Structure 1
């Protein structure tokens, strides 16, 4: 599988919830790296329907609806770092940590509301440019 498009912020929310959602809900204040990684771990457990320690493309597709479902394979490929056809918890956490670091622009280990909004705006801008 190829790793093609950058992961959309909306897709990241669906897959990891790490960089954009606070455990109390979306936009409920600052989120630390530990909280973000815990959210990613919780989301992984939800997606791993057969509890075998891996998420397959089929399991991911079963979790997504609407526009996000169209991007399931791209999202999966982005998380399947070793290209073995499965996403492990370690792969999920690695990707979530990388995304957290991208959004945490001041490097203080906390994503503020302002950083979260800036990441969303950046994603919106990228999507507008793609659409032409």
Structure 2
């Protein structure tokens, strides 16, 4: 039962933490973002998500990440998570999240995010990867991953100049909110 709880926690944290990995730009970034910078960042993010280094993102990568997270939480390496290990890991994740939130707020000049985390956007990493899987084979290659990220970039780059400005990001967010509300 404890192992099952840990796997559920690891899966949830992987999905929540990975949701932003496929995004074309850092949400905390204030300045313009070029298409070339997005391509470079996308390649870096793909490498991080390709846990087993086989050149595709697929269920094997998620399984490898889950095992890695479980092993990290299982501090005494007995293959079972005790209540103490589980609580300690959960507390550490909360502290890490708080530190990241504070760092983002500091970069924004003290402004806090208006919504509570990434969970409210719907779909998470799984949905983004599914949309990126152009040939629907259950795997996302680096080419598919980059193509999807650059397509998102191009949708936001309203004037097509190869750079997304703060105003273009803001307009894209507002348009997305409008779509979610059914406007």
For residue 30 of structure 1, the aligned residue among 12, 15, 32 is 32
TM-score, with length taken from structure 2: 0.54
Aligned length in residues: 114
Structure 1 gap segments, 5+ residues each:
1-11
Mapped partners of 2:57, 2:138: distance in 1 = 9
For residue 20 of structure 2, the aligned residue among 14, 17, 28 is 14
RMSD value over aligned CA atoms? 2.9
Distance 1:70 1:97, change over 3 A: closer
Distance 1:88 1:68, change over 3 A: farther
For residue 95 of structure 1, the aligned residue among 145, 148, 161 is 148
Please report how far the alpha carbon of residue 96 of structure 1 lies from its aligned counterpart in structure 2 after TM superposition: 1.0
1:53 maps to 2:63: no
* Aligned partner of residue 29 in structure 1, secondary structure: coil
Structure 2 gap segments, 5+ residues each:
1-17, 67-117
Runs of 4+ in 1 over 6 A off after TM superposition: none
Query: Contact 1:80–1:87 (CA<8 Å) still a contact in 2?
Result: yes
Deviates more, 1:28-37 or 1:70-79: 70-79
Please report how far the alpha carbon of residue 68 of structure 1 lies from its aligned counterpart in structure 2 after TM superposition: 6.2
Decide which structure has the larger Cα Rg and report it: 2
Mapped partners of 1:70, 1:84: distance in 2 = 19
Spell out, residue by residue over 1:31-89, the C-alpha distance to the aligned partner (whole angstroms, 9 max, x if none). Answer: 100001111111111111111111114646969x7456854432222011011111000
Work out which structure has the larger RCO, using CA pairs closer than 8 Å and 6 or more positions apart in sequence.
2
Alignment-derived partner of residue 8 in structure 1: none
Bigger strand share: 1
Alignment-derived partner of residue 46 in structure 2: 44
Mapped partners of 2:62, 2:170: distance in 1 = 26
Please report how far the alpha carbon of residue 15 of structure 1 lies from its aligned counterpart in structure 2 after TM superposition: 3.5
